[in-house]
Chains A and B, each alone.
Chain A
Amino acid sequence: MSFRNTFVAELRKAVTLPATWVALAVTLLGSVGVTVLNAVAVRAALDSVARESVASYSAFDTAYAAVPLGTVGAVVIGVVVMSSEYAANRTDAGSGRQITATLTASPRRTGLLVAKALTVVLLVAITAAATIPASAAVARLLIGAGPPETVSLDDALVRSVGAALYWTLTGLMALAITTLARSGIIPLIVLIVNSSLVSFSLLLTNVTPLAHWLPDMAGRRLFLGMPTVEGGLDTGPGAVVMAAWTLALLAVAGVVLSRRDA
């Protein structure tokens, strides 16, 4: 009962934070925007003489190219759910931060972190459920009549779930790192950089093959069907490794949060 209260309180806090909705809206609009650009280019190619060269294009693939953007949305959600607790309020001096109120209301800190994690999962899931189908629909609409869809509905569903899982795990890692650092700077930088092409983890794989076991490298095949670098773990084992990292980081964050003075 008490946990349920904590969870509802955390969910309420998160949905009344403007940053949450901005992250959700930017993810949705950004992904749709990139899809539009992509779909227009595909349509142009289909209309030109070189239509055979794009015969294998599918509307779903066109939309799916934008999924890396959703990672940023998930990171922002994971960060603000915790960093808002540590934001300075107007008095500056003393402990004028929301975390004081939160911890006096929900003194069981492990429960608090679990509640926050569930909140992140729920919000990222909503983001994914809105973004991926919307992008796919926009792509279908803009490409219009063309080559038959090469991605089956089942495939599309599995790949969407894969991307949503990657987003969720990244969002949870953002939550864990923000809890540890009590600031959003480090998780934003580390997780956004590592979800891009100039990933530090990718660079490290050149130094040691062990870097393939880092969470973002392990989980990268969850973006099913996206071109990626050779080597490293397969989709299934990779997802397990990434999930293990996430749980481990959350566990460390939980222990630290419980032991630390607010």
Chain B
Amino acid sequence: MTGPRVMNAVGAELSKLRTLPVATLTAVGTAVVGALIATALTAQLVDQGAPASGITVTIQAVPFVQTGLILLGVLPVTHEYAGAQLRTSLAAVPRRGLLLAGKSVATLLGLTLAAALTVGGVVAATALTGSLLDAPPVEGVVDPWPVVGAVAYLVLVGLLAHAVALLVRHLVPALAGTLSLVLIVSPLLGGLTRHARWLPDRAAMQLYDPTDAVLSAATGALVMLAWIALIGGTAAMLFVRRDP
């Protein structure tokens, strides 16, 4: 009997995401902004006479588009707390663990779709702009791995935002907190200390831009997953225990 219940919970959460205007807008908007950024970056590379490969541009575009995935990761939880929808959700699925599992799976699916769409848009826009501007051809064998790694990184950053949202529950602190961690604190500490490599986003960055001496793509992703498990696990425990 557990199977159908999980499917119902996931289905309901997917239905919520699909019908939340700001969520669909974020997913589509991120892909569009990603394509625009790719166009700008490609034009810049062509100006400098450099070959503009989808890989190079993807690596440069990811830091910009991650904002969209962070917002998408925060929304499934925080929209429950805007008004009184959480009450309805808990009446419908009273088992906290089941509700959280359904929500997290649905968030993961939404993030994967949005990340794939966005990176796909970046690669396509790069190719299109490159051919329109007669960019010099890319030489040698191109390793497509960073593109897959970029999708994985974006999904993980979105999940991190999901975990933070679960902990702080409301939109403004969840969004401001995750954005400032990833965009401000992480680069700031990156310039100050080598230990910054253990920060979630810096570790996961190895997935698409492996430059670290200690962490590889796999271990970097594991560090990120550990952060997500730590924050999300704490939040889930609190969610199950306390009254809404």
Contact = CB atoms under 8 A, between A and B. Distances in A.
A63 to B, nearest CB: 12
Nearest to A194: B183
Contacts of A37: 189, 192-193
A244 B113 CA distance: 41
A233 to B, nearest CB: 22
A203 B36 CA distance: 11
Interface in A39-97: 41, 65-66, 68-69, 71-72, 75-76, 79-80, 83, 87-92
Nearest to B191: A65
Interface residues of B, number: 29
B82 A203 contact: no
A192 B180 contact: yes
A104 interface: no
Interface in A193-225: 193, 195-198, 200, 203-204, 206-207
Contact of A188 (B22, B82, B172): B172
A34 B189 contact: yes
Nearest to A88: B83
B133 interface: no
B185 A30 contact: yes
Interface string B29-42: 00000000100110
Interface residues of A, number: 40
Contacts of B176: 23, 72, 75-76, 188, 192
B179 A69 contact: no
B43, B184, B193 — most chain A CB neighbours (10 Å): B184
A158 interface: no
Interface of B: 22, 37, 40-41, 43-44, 63-64, 67, 71, 82-85, 171-173, 175-176, 179-180, 183-185, 187-189, 192-193
Given A76-B172, A203-B41, 6 more contacts: A68-B188, A90-B84, A185-B22, A192-B183, A192-B184, A195-B184
29 contacts: A19-B172, A23-B176, A34-B189, A34-B192, A37-B189, A37-B192, A37-B193, A41-B192, A41-B193, A66-B188, A68-B184, A69-B180, A72-B176, A76-B176, A80-B172, A90-B84, A92-B85, A188-B179, A189-B71, A189-B179, A193-B67, A196-B184, A196-B187, A197-B63, A197-B187, A198-B63, A206-B40, A206-B44, A207-B44
Interface of A: 19, 22-23, 30, 34, 37-38, 41, 65-66, 68-69, 71-72, 75-76, 79-80, 83, 87-92, 184-185, 188-189, 192-193, 195-198, 200, 203-204, 206-207
Q: Please list the 3 inter-chain residue pairs (A to B) with the smallest Cβ-Cβ separation, ordered nearest first.
A: A196-B183, A88-B83, A198-B63
